[in-house]
Amino acid sequence: MSHANAPAFFAMTDVDQGDPFIIRINHRDAIVHARRILTGKEKHRTHIRGAIVKQTADFNPGWSFHLNPDSIEFFELAMEVCDASIRYVEDHLDAVGGDTLPGGHWCPWSSRLVAEVTSAIQV
pLDDT tens per residue, range 61-93: 999 999 999 999 999 877 778 999 999 999 999
- Over the stretch 18-68, which tens digit does the pLDDT of each residue have? 788 999 999 999 999 999 999 999 989 999 999 999 999 999 999 999 999
Are 28 and 7 in contact, with CB atoms under 8 Å apart?
Answer: no
The DSSP 8-state label assigned to residue 99 in this structure reads: T
- What pLDDT score was predicted for residue 3? 47
The neighbouring-strand residues paired with 3 are none
Scanning 55-112, the segments in alpha helix (DSSP H) are 86-91
96 φ, ψ to 5°? Answer: -65, 135
The whole-number pLDDT of residue 4 equals 55
Q: Is the pLDDT of residue 121 over 60?
A: no
Q: Is the pLDDT of residue 122 over 80?
A: no
**For residue 67, which phi and psi values (nearest 5 degrees)?**
-95, 140
The model's pLDDT over 105-116, given as tens digits with 9 standing for 90+, comes to 999 999 999 999
> How far is residue 116's CA from residue 52's CA, in Å, rounded to a whole number?
20
Q: Output the pLDDT for position 30.
A: 96
- pTM (2 d.p.): 0.88
Q: What number of residues does the chain have? A: 123
pLDDT of amino acid 13: 94
Residue 22 contacts residue 9 (beta carbons within 8 Å): yes
- Asked if 72 contacts 23 with a C-beta cutoff of 8 angstroms, the reply is yes
